[in-house]
Amino acid sequence: MGRPGFNCRAAPTTAYRKDAAARCNLVRACHFVRRLCSSEMPSYGLTTPASRRRTPDIKAWSGSSSVVDKSLISTSCTPVATGDNRLRVAVDVDEVLGRFVYTLNKFCKDQYDMEYGVGDYWIYEFAKIWGCSQERSNQIVHEFFRSQHFKDGIPVVPGALEALTRLSESNYELVVVTSRQHVIQDATLRWLDRHYSGLFQEVYFGNHFALEGKSQRKSDICRTIGARVLIDDNPSYALECAAAGIHVLLYDWGGAYPWSKLPPHAGAYNPDLIRVVQDWGEVERELASLAQRLRATADNT
C-alpha cells in the first residue's frame, strides 16, 4: 500500500472536490509538502485518486512559479534520487501517454471537414498546420475540449501502461508535467486515474496556449520539483530542459512524429542530455542506463 491520502484548503481547485473535507490527514512526506498544506496557496490543488495498484498522493499544480518558495524544497525531497533511492521522472501527457492529435483530427473532420493526419503536423503548433490565426486555433481546440470526442477519452499510447507499471515498481518516482491548460485540469486528472491509476505521484500543468491564466515553463517546473528526467515529444521543450541541465527522452513514436525531430545543425543540443526514443521499451532501457550513470556520478561527488 502507498502512503495515506491528504488534502488541504487548496483542494477544491481539483477534481474529487466533494471528498476534500473527508481527506485532510497530512502526509509528512517532506518539508515542501508540509508547508504547502499549511499555507494559503489557492493555485495549488491536492487530491488522491482511487488506485488499482497503490494509493499515492497526487498534487495537481496549476500555479505560477512565483507561488513556490524554492527554499522550502529540502534536499531530502529533490535529489538525484528520492529518499528511497528512486529517480524522479517527469512524463508528458499528449502524444506520450495519450493520442491527442489523433483524436483532435477526428473532431476537426467531423466538425469542420478539416482533413489532417498525424503525419501532417511538422510542428506542434496547430495554427501553423491549419493555416489560421492563433486566436482561431485556440477557439477550435477549446471547442474540442467541450466536445464528445474529448469527453469520450483520448486513446492511450500502446506500451505506456505496461512500461510505467514496471518503472513505478522499480527505482523510479513518476510525476506528470504537461503543458495542458488549467481549464482541462479536472478532465486530465480523471483521464490519468482511468488509464494510469496509481502510477503518478504528482501532476503539474503548464497552461500553455490557454485563453486565460499564466503559463509555466516545463524546465522551471522540473527544476522546482526535482525531476531529473523529462519524457516529452516536443523538441522545443527538450532543448529548453536540456539547457537547464535536465535529461530528456524525446519521444518519437515509431519515428512517425514529424514535429519530434531535433534541429539538424551541429551544436543544437547536447546528445548526453537528449536521447530520442521511439517506443516505451526504449524508454525503459534508456532510463535504466541513465539511472546507473546518475548514481555513479553521485557516488563520485
**Which residues belong to the active site?**
92, 94
Other CB atoms within 10 Å distance of the CB of residue 122: 12
Kindly give the pairing relationship between strand 247-251 and strand 44-47: unpaired
Residues forming beta bridges with residue 60, ordered by sequence position: 45, 203
Quote the strand ranges of the chain, DSSP E: 44-47, 58-61, 87-91, 172-178, 202-205, 229-232, 247-251, 274-277
Q: Is 94 helix (H, G, I), strand (E, B) or coil?
A: strand
Q: Are 273 and 293 in contact (CB under 8 A)?
A: no
Nearest-angstrom CA–CA distance, 17 and 270: 43
Q: Which residues contact 231 (CB under 8 A, 6 or more apart)?
A: 89, 90, 91, 92, 96, 248, 249, 251, 277, 283
Q: Can you say whether the dihedral through the CA atoms of 246, 252, 116, 130 is positive or negative?
A: positive
Kindly give the pairing relationship between strand 58-61 and strand 44-47: antiparallel
Count Cα neighbours of 185 within 13 Å in the Cβ-side half-sphere: 30
DSSP 101: H
Dihedral over alpha carbons 287, 237, 90, 295 (to 10 degrees): 40
